[in-house]
């Protein structure tokens, strides 16, 4: 009488390992896309909030902040986004460039634009 020992064949083990590898690969790609989308959303939101803060600052002070230090006193960035503020003409116009460590794109907002965009406005150096 032949008794078969219990256990898995090598083919069954290879199939299971392959399926796990495929699922892990899909999860990694989905996570990396999610991080890039989140970074873009953070840059757009921070740019829009800074635009509102600068609009209010101009109403109360008659001009935009003169430099990056003055801008940092007006608006505090609360995420992994870096906002670079420039004013080419001493406070009558401005440009903000938003960057993130999690994405390579740059989002701009300026005194001539009302919505964050990836297209560089004409008043940005």
User: In this structure, what are the phi and psi dihedrals at residue 65, rounded to the nearest 5 degrees?
Assistant: -55, 150
Instruction: Provide the pLDDT for residue 19.
Output: 94
**What does the pLDDT average to over 46-63?**
88
What is the model's pTM? 0.68
**What does the pLDDT average to over 59-78?**
86
Cβ-proximal residues to 83 (8 Å cutoff; 6+ apart), any chain: 46, 47, 50, 71, 75, 77, 96, 97, 98
Instruction: Provide the pLDDT for residue 22.
Output: 93
Percent of the chain with pLDDT over 90: 10
Extract the tokens encoding 18. 């392959």
What's the alpha-carbon Rg for the chain, to the nearest Å?
25
The Cβ of residue 74 has, within 10 Å, a number of other Cβ atoms equal to 15
For residue 85, how far is the Cα from the chain centroid?
Answer: 17
């Amino acid at each position: 009488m032949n008794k078969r020992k219990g256990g898995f064949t090598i083919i069954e083990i290879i199939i299971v390992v392959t399926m796990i590898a495929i699922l892990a690969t899909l999860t990694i790609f989905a996570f990396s896309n999610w991080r890039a989308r989140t970074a873009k959303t953070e840059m757009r939101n921070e740019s829009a909030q800074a635009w509102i803060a600068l609009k209010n600052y101009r109403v109360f002070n008659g001009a935009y902040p003169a430099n990056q230090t003055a801008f940092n006193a007006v608006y505090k960035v609360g995420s992994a986004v870096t906002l670079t503020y420039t004013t080419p003409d001493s406070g009558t116009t401005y440009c903000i460039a938003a960057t993130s460590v999690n994405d390579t794109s740059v989002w701009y907002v300026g005194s001539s634009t009302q919505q964050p965009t990836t297209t560089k406005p004409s008043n940005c150096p």
